[in-house]
């Protein structure tokens, strides 16, 4: 068996390092998303399947909507605020209208404020889980089903929180087309 020269070993290590860094670059977005969902960092909410049940405490939930300037839609919550029972399943609706003369696909990002409330805000179903395509002039009602986890009452950082704001921003989906 022949010995590898010092330059060959260095080249192999450099190639392995480049491959590892490239892989880490591609994995960073899903890893960051999983970290935020697990910790509630930056107001990231959880996903759930069933609400645990009301505990007798009420909390206000405010709804906020934003649109990218590149998206020709009107987007707003049907109610700007509601009072809900902590632990109970609730539903809110947002409406979106495509103001463009052609079909447009959008996707929503979301967050919750204050940031420490993100780990207690759980969505069961949401329009933000999938892309939304609206035909020209079409208006749709989009539901979000959610609950606020009763565990929040044991968190000292949530003691003085009486309002949680759920905020969405819609962006156009890049169709992958390039300008000619």
Interval 77-112: pLDDT, tens: 999 999 999 999 999 999 999 999 999 999 999 999
The stretch 111-122 carries a mean pLDDT of 90
Percent share of the chain, pLDDT over 90: 51
pLDDT at site 24: 77
The stretch 67-84 carries a mean pLDDT of 95
Distances (CA, A) of 1 to 4, 5, 58: 9, 13, 74
Measured CA to CA, the distance from residue 111 to residue 168 in angstroms comes to 7
The stretch 23-45 carries a mean pLDDT of 60
pTM metric for this prediction: 0.68
Structure-model confidence comparison of residues 9 and 46, the more confident one: 9
Q: What is the mean pLDDT of the chain?
A: 84
Structure-model confidence comparison of residues 67 and 2, the more confident one: 67
Rounded (5°) CA angle 154-123-162: 45
pLDDT at site 43: 45
Distances (CA, A) of 135 to 98, 103, 113: 7, 4, 32
- Strand-pairing partners, residue 93, are 143
Structure-model confidence comparison of residues 155 and 44, the more confident one: 155
Is-contact 92 82, C-beta < 8 A? Answer: yes
pLDDT at site 174: 76
Structure-model confidence comparison of residues 81 and 33, the more confident one: 81
Per-residue exposure over 95-134, b if at least 16 CB sit within 10 Å of its own CB, e if not: ebebeeeeebebbbebbbbeebbbbbbbbbebbbeeebeb
> For residue 42, is pLDDT > 50?
no
Is-contact 42 32, C-beta < 8 A? Answer: no
Number of neighbours of residue 23 by Cβ within 10 angstroms: 10
Task: Report the CATH superfamily, name and number, of domain 43-172.
Answer: Ctag/Cox11 (2.60.370.10)
Measured CA to CA, the distance from residue 90 to residue 92 in angstroms comes to 7
Residues 6+ apart with CB under 8 A from 38: none
Helix (H) or strand (E) holding 141: strand 139-148
Query: Helices marked H in 5-135 — which ranges?
Result: 6-39
Helix (H, G, I), strand (E, B) or coil at 121: strand
Is-contact 121 103, C-beta < 8 A? Answer: no
pLDDT at site 52: 59
pLDDT class of 178 with cuts at 50, 70, 90: very low
Structure-model confidence comparison of residues 29 and 82, the more confident one: 82
Could you tell me the residue ranges of all domains in the chain?
1-39, 43-172
Least confident of 38-52, 55-69, 86-100: 38-52
The stretch 132-160 carries a mean pLDDT of 93
């Amino acid at each position: 068996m022949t010995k590898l020269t010092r330059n060959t070993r260095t080249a192999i290590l450099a190639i392995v390092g480049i491959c590892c860094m490239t892989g880490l670059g591609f994995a960073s977005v899903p890893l960051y998303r999983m970290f935020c969902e697990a910790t509630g960092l930056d107001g990231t909410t959880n996903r759930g399947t069933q609400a645990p049940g009301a505990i007798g405490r009420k909390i206000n939930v405010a709804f906020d909507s934003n649109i990218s300037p590149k998206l020709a839609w009107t987007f707003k919550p049907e109610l700007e605020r509601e009072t809900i029972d902590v632990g109970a399943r609730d539903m809110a609706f947002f409406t979106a209208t495509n103001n463009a003369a052609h079909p447009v696909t959008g996707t929503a990002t979301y967050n919750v404020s204050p940031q420490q409330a993100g780990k207690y805000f759980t969505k069961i179903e949401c329009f933000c889980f999938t892309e939304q395509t609206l035909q020209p002039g079409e208006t749709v009602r989009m539901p979000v089903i959610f609950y606020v986890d009763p565990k929040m009452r044991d968190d000292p950082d949530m003691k003085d929180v009486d309002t949680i704001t759920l905020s969405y921003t819609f962006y156009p989906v890049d169709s992958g087309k390039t300008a000619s």
